[in-house]
Amino acid sequence: MKRFIFSCFICMVLIGCSTEKSSPSINQSADAAESKDVTVTEKEPPKPKEIILFLEGNEKRFNVKDLPLIHKYVQTSPDPDLAMARMRINEIETPLEETSLYILRYACEAKLCSNILIKETKNEVQTRLVSDLSLFKTASISPDQEKLLLTFLVNEGDTITREKVNMIDLDNLETLSLLQSEGQIDLNFVWPILDATWKTDESIEVSIPKLDNSSLEALKNWYSLKPEDQEKKTIALTIDD
């Protein structure tokens, strides 16, 4: 009987020692788990799906994916909301049924912007970059309502502007090449374009100051003259077929 009690005592001592030795191992494993670095991945804010602009006090909404250039610009912008807040839009009056035309200005630098022409119908939205780093000035539709004449300007000083004209095919928004009837005067932001009007469905006329050159000094002198003394030159431009 004494041997049995002694054997039980020895077993209890051995079990107790085994438990004490295993406890530190469990604690070390827990400490090791707690010491591991936890990596937290921050989710990027959702990209906007719509562009909301204000046109004469009313909201104008576009799906971003309908405007590929704008979509790319917004997606790569560090602050998409600010990029959209700086956009501006002008509506172009049109007699076309169920068709709206807009000039959207974005990515502006020193008040000069990239300009996108938007044609919106019930079935689709078409876009085309029509001028870069410039300001939208005027728009007029041809007598046959198939083409659009646009003028853009850049400022030089406080009073001098230099313009260019774009003629757009309203079916596919492609830019149409223009031929001058006489000589070859550079009308790409070199001269002030005083007027641009349709003469036929295929031609326009523009007027510029009648000067030997378009230097800033020459233009300032011309603008300083009385209106009746400001001579003008008319240039005929026809679509190059």
Q: Residue 238: which region, alpha, beta or left (left: phi > 0; alpha: psi -120 to 50)?
A: beta
Q: Does residue 132 fall inside a structural domain?
A: yes
Amino acid at 207: S
- 5 domain residue, yes or no: no
By CB atoms closer than 10 A (0-12, 13-18, 19+), residue 134 is buried
| Domains contained in the chain, number | 1
Q: Is residue 2 part of a domain?
A: no
Cβ pair 153, 133 in contact under 8 A = no
φ, ψ of residue 125 to 5 degrees: the values are: -125, 125
**Domain annotation covers residue 75:** yes
> Is residue 29 classed as helix, strand or coil in its secondary structure?
helix
Tell me the pLDDT tens digit for each residue of 44-102: 656 667 888 888 878 899 998 899 999 999 889 999 889 988 999 999 999 999 999 99
Q: Can you tell me the mean pLDDT for 116-145?
A: 96
How does pLDDT run across 102-119, given as a tens digit for each residue?
A: 999 999 988 899 999 999
Buried b / exposed e along 160-178 (16+ C-beta atoms within 10 A)? bbbbbbbbbebeebeeeeb
Residue 14 lies in a domain: no
Assigned domain for 221 exists: yes
User: Is pLDDT at 157 greater than 50 in this prediction?
Assistant: yes
- Confidence label for 21 from pLDDT (cuts 50, 70 and 90): very low
Structure confidence by residue, pLDDT tens digits, 171-182: 999 999 999 987
Using CA atoms, how far apart are residues 8 and 98, in angstroms rounded to an integer?
Answer: 99
Distance of alpha carbon 66 from the chain centroid: 12
**Residue 125 structural domain:** 50-239
Q: Give the model's pLDDT for residue 20.
A: 44
Rounded distance between C-alpha atoms, residue 168 and residue 197, angstroms: 14
What would the pLDDT profile of 167-210 be if each residue is shown by its tens digit?
999 999 999 999 998 778 999 999 999 999 999 999 999 999 99
Residue, of 36 and 139, whose pLDDT is higher: 139
